[in-house]
Amino acid sequence: FKSEDPARMANAIVQATTHFEDAKIIADVSKGLGAPMRGLEMATIPEAERLAVRGW
């Protein structure tokens, strides 16, 4: 993960998916995660570097 704190983000994802029915646990592990991983705009990726062509 390219988030601000990859290990903490990974742990939060595991905990949230393990306890997906427990809102308190999800809220607790979601606090203080820092900046998330940034996405990429498809238009900025050259077609030759895309792994799959999907959508419209």
Render pLDDT for 9-31 as a digit per residue (tens, 0 to 9). Answer: 999 999 999 999 999 999 999 99
Position 50 confidence tier, pLDDT thresholds 50, 70, 90:
confident
Residue burial 26-44, b: 16+ Cβ < 10 Å; e: rest: eeebeeeeeeeeeeeeeee
Residue 31 belongs to a domain: yes
Residue 41 belongs to a domain: yes
Is 1 a member of any domain?
A: no
- 29-34: long-range contacts, CB 8 A cutoff, minimum separation 24: 32/8, 33/3, 33/4, 33/5, 33/8, 33/9, 34/3, 34/4, 34/5, 34/8, 34/9
Tell me the residue range of the domain where 33 lies. Answer: 6-49
Confidence grade of residue 2 (pLDDT, cut at 50, 70, 90)? confident
Res. 56 pLDDT band, cuts 50 70 90? low
